[in-house]
Amino acid sequence: MDSADDLFDRLEQLNDIGASLSRERDITRLLERILLAAKTITNADGGTLYRMKDDGKKLRFEMLRTDSLQIAMGGTSGSAISFPDLPLHDESGAPNDSLVAAYAAIHVQTVNIVDAYTEQNFDFSGTRRFDERTGYRSQSMLAVPMKDHEGEVIGVLQLINAQAHDSQQVVAFSLADQSLVESLASQAAIALSNRMLLTQLEELFESFINLINLAIDEKSPYTGGHCQRVPALTMMLAEAVSETTEGPLAAFRMDDRDRYELKIAGLLHDCGKITTPVHVVDKATKLQTLFDRVHLIDTRFEVLKRDAEIHALRQQLALRPCADAQAEAGISAECQASLESIDAEREFLRSANIGGETMSEAALQRVRQIGSERVWRDVNGLETQFLSADELENLTIRAGTLTADERKTINQHIVTTIRMLEQLPWPKHLKNVPEYAGGHHERMDGKGYPKGLRREQMSVQARVMGIADIFEALTAGDRPYKSGMKLSQALATMNKFKTNGHIDPDLFDIFIQKGVYKLYAEQFLDPSQIDEVRL
């Protein structure tokens, strides 16, 4: 018989367990806490937790613990459970009342058995075979159904061999034990239901985020991989920072809620690109809009070549009927030189159209010269400048493929991202998502965009995402306008960014020292990009 003090202590323990269950976010650890708590408050040697399968027709072994046999299966044990599911009905549809756990689930009723070997109402043949193999003696049992807030059975908590508190003697589960476990099962079922509901909502929310990213991906296949790689690299670096125990960032730590918040921010960091015109996002060459307009220029060059050949032929015809071989040869040579000059200028403009890291002043001047000095006859037969003002502006882009206006259009995506995210009613544990996601284009020296924030005005998480975004962009091999850099080149570029105030120097040091770049490269880069790094 339990004393009043013992019952009071166990009630206090039950209250503490209930509080701890409500705080647990991980379902596997939550289930494990439930089972271990039930064993503790009843001093049971073993226990099994079953969960109802989605179809409501079977119970699945979730985890099993038996202390005296040192058996730990399921949960965080690392040992999988190979036992088959327990059917709640036989092939004819009759209830499977021969199994204790199934009976408790079917009838929503606690089963308290003093001795399995003398109990006549249930089939314990499987239990006996287990005992024969292990030398165990299964005796007292307690099976309690777990009901959610709607009264639906979501699992069964089964305990075995209660032990006297002052010895290892196996005793029956008392009515106090049964009452405590039923209370625990009720609390546990609510905690589990709440956690499952939250998990389903989180999965729905993440699916909605993936839907946005899919829409961006469908618009532009070149950004789809970016929306997946940046969150992955962000989490790699954030974990490395969280594990750091010395230096300026030694105090930075993340719990599961922090990780989830940063993960969501990473997935949403470019959601504003859904409004960015696809011809700007995918602008592979300087003259590309809905198509690459360099082909129009190719046509004009062909017209120039045709005109040069016609001009030469007319000059040669003017020599008729008096043939002048030397004069005709001179005309042919002049025509050939003109054709070669035209071809050279065409190849030069095609090269200029590709874009790249930078374009020299001499090259820019040559584009302007061709555009202003060359003339061609348009479809109306009128002589006009070879390059239009818009074509000239695009072909004289100093670096990359975007004009200043197109760059503003691209940059607008982060403003749109922030505006979109700030419209959402974020719960407390996700309230920082807009700041994390909206800060990845800021610079440590305040020269970034859209807000011109300085390092001290930004969270560690936003600065982490900034590094992840840049490194992914430098090494990405799926951009239409460039190939991915090798590791050594990308890190050399980022090292310059570290010294010129672009990225956080302390975070970049951890990025290098903890080998985050290597981990990322192994998972996401082409092997040809992975070379020796010396900084």
Using DSSP, state whether 48 is helix, strand or coil. Answer: strand
Q: What is the pLDDT of residue 20?
A: 64
HSE at residue 422, side-chain half, CA atoms within 13 A, is 8
Q: Give CA–CA dist 50/492, Å, rounded.
A: 55
Lowest mean pLDDT among 68-77, 107-116, 137-146, 280-289: 280-289
Lowest mean pLDDT among 11-20, 219-228, 349-358, 523-532: 11-20
| pLDDT tens per residue across span 165-180 | 777 899 999 998 898 8
For residue 354, the one-letter residue type is: I
- Is the Cβ–Cβ distance between 511 and 237 less than 8 Å? yes
Highest mean pLDDT among 251-255, 352-356, 480-484: 251-255
| pLDDT tens per residue across span 52-104 | 988 889 999 999 999 999 999 998 888 988 889 999 998 888 999 999 999 99
Placement of tokens 């050939």 in the chain? 336
**Band (481; pLDDT cuts 50, 70, 90):** low
Strands (DSSP E) along 403-465, which ranges?
none
Lowest mean pLDDT among 99-103, 357-361, 455-459: 357-361
Q: What is the pLDDT of residue 374?
A: 87
Q: Give CA–CA dist 261/484, Å, rounded.
A: 29
What angle in degrees, to the nearest 10, is found between the helix axes of 460-475 and 487-499?
140
**Band (22; pLDDT cuts 50, 70, 90):** low
Name the helix (H) or strand (E) containing 50: strand 44-52
For residue 254, the one-letter residue type is: M
Exposed, middle or buried by CB within 10 Å (0-12, 13-18, 19+), for 421?
Answer: buried
Looking at every residue in the chain, the average pLDDT score rounds to: 86
DSSP string, 60-89: EEEEEEETTTTEEEETTSS----PPPEESB
Q: Which of 254, 253, 266, 233 is nearest to 519 (CA)?
A: 233
| pLDDT tens per residue across span 252-284 | 999 989 999 999 999 998 888 887 777 776 677
The DSSP symbol for 288 reads B
Q: What is the pLDDT of residue 185?
A: 84
Q: What percent of the chain has pLDDT over 90?
A: 43
| pLDDT tens per residue across span 420-451 | 999 999 999 899 999 999 999 999 999 998 99
Using DSSP, state whether 245 is helix, strand or coil. Answer: coil
> Does 4 score more than 60 pLDDT?
no
Q: Which positions ≥6 away from 258 have C-beta within 8 Å?
A: none
> Does 5 score more than 60 pLDDT?
no
Name the helix (H) or strand (E) containing 160: strand 153-163
φ, ψ of residue 326 to 5 degrees: the values are: -65, -45
HSE at residue 117, side-chain half, CA atoms within 13 A, is 10
Q: What is the pLDDT of residue 323?
A: 67
> Does 306 score more than 60 pLDDT?
yes
